């Protein structure tokens, strides 16, 4: 998909803006754990396996950008702590996370196959990430797509 | 989507394996430029804007993992150089890249709107990344999905 790329400034690129928030491996792995049901610091720490200060930093980034929200809780006899829950903005990142997973399943999995399967809760069939156009054409590939300047394009003077 | 996460080792997680290859901001931005039509070092450098040694390193990573292949070319009077072309493995990363873009378009774009539009080459309609199950149920959200151990799951002893 070619367009006159050199005529536009990529400063406001949406891929870059997304990666400025989640484009760090641990951040996406923290989100993976949230989708798998983790809510508490120790669950994230057990699942992600990064250093505790790194994890604290990544959770703060996700809260600051409103992908996660903090909810207070208190276990009997303990001080108040916080759980982390997905916001709508955070939930909306699932297609990106599953697209990365699907690529890894296809190209980097062990011979035994993918470690995790994602299914449709209602019917039990496997879930796939696909490219579809608004007219309903589906399973599009890179060769079926074209890029063009959008309404927010920054044209180079 | 909950499953008994703590019963499984995430060492072979497909998200992690993908991010081990492309989970660095510059790497995905290099791939963005390839999808936009860049083939030569100077095109990548102009589009991505990272340091030349970082760019060299990221291109090497993408070639080593077979997302890009090098093709020799020679301009008149110059020494032989290399272009970079997407392999099937690299082309297959487009859904992940567009999923990241779509999230950024929705949550982080300027008021003017998305800087780039992706359309279906045949019909001109906008392309979306959607979650679909094999039974054909489409536009699934996080709440419609369930995760379970797959054939390659590593159970914790």
Looking at the complex, report in whole angstroms how far the Cα of residue B64 sits from the nearest Cα belonging to chain A.
Answer: 14
Of all residues in chain A, the percent with pLDDT exceeding 70 is: 97
Chain A positions in Cβ-Cβ contact with residue B14 (cut-off 8 Å): 100-105, 108-109, 114-116
Q: Is the ipTM of this complex over 0.90?
A: yes
Kindly list the distances between the CA atom of residue B61 and the CA atoms of A69, B22, B69, B115, in Å, as whole numbers in the listed order. Answer: 36, 9, 11, 28
Tokens 């039509």 locate to: B37
Task: Look at residue B53 in the predicted model and tell me its pLDDT.
Answer: 96
Give the residue-averaged pLDDT of B8-22: 89
Cβ partners under 8 Å of residue B54, min gap 6: B26
Question: What does the pLDDT look like over B38-94, one tens digit per residue?
Answer: 999 999 999 998 999 999 999 999 999 999 999 999 999 999 999 999 999 999 999
Model's pTM, two decimal places?
A: 0.93
Is the CB of B148 less than 8 angstroms away from the CB of A23?
A: no
Task: Look at residue A135 in the predicted model and tell me its pLDDT.
Answer: 95
Is the CB of B121 less than 8 angstroms away from the CB of A108?
A: no
Give the residue-averaged pLDDT of B3-25: 86
Is the CB of B12 less than 8 angstroms away from the CB of A115?
A: yes
Looking at the complex, report in whole angstroms how far the Cα of residue B138 sits from the nearest Cα belonging to chain A.
Answer: 9
Task: Look at residue A2 in the predicted model and tell me its pLDDT.
Answer: 53
Query: For A16, which residue in chain B has the nearest alpha carbon?
Result: B29
Looking at the complex, report in whole angstroms how far the Cα of residue A131 sits from the nearest Cα belonging to chain B.
Answer: 5
Give the residue-averaged pLDDT of B129-157: 91
Give the residue-averaged pLDDT of B17-29: 90
Looking at the complex, report in whole angstroms how far the Cα of residue B78 sits from the nearest Cα belonging to chain A.
Answer: 24
Using the predicted structure, report yes or no on whether residue B26 has a pLDDT greater than 80: yes
Query: For B32, which residue in chain A has the nearest alpha carbon?
Result: A15
Query: For A14, which residue in chain B has the nearest alpha carbon?
Result: B104
Q: Collect the ranges in chain A with pLDDT lower than 70.
A: 1-3, 157
Q: Is A138 helix (H, G, I), strand (E, B) or coil?
A: coil
Chain A positions in Cβ-Cβ contact with residue B149 (cut-off 8 Å): 115-117
Strands B154-155 and A116-120: unpaired
Is the CB of A94 less than 8 angstroms away from the CB of B145?
A: yes
């Amino acid at each position: 998909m070619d367009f006159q790329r050199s005529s536009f400034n990529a400063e406001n690129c949406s891929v870059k803006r997304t990666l400025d928030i989640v484009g760090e491996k641990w951040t996406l792995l923290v989100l993976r754990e949230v989708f798998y049901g983790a809510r508490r610091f120790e669950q994230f720490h057990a699942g992600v396996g990064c250093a505790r200060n790194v994890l604290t930093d990544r959770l703060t980034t996700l809260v600051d950008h409103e992908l996660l929200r903090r909810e207070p809780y208190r276990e009997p006899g303990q001080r108040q702590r916080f759980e982390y829950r997905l916001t709508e903005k955070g939930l909306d990142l699932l297609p990106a996370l599953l697209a990365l997973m699907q690529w890894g399943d296809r190209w980097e999995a062990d011979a035994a196959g993918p470690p995790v399967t994602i299914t449709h809760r209602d019917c039990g069939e496997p879930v796939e990430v696909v490219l579809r156009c608004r007219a309903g054409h589906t399973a599009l590939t890179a060769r079926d797509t074209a890029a063009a300047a959008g309404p927010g394009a920054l044209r180079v003077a």
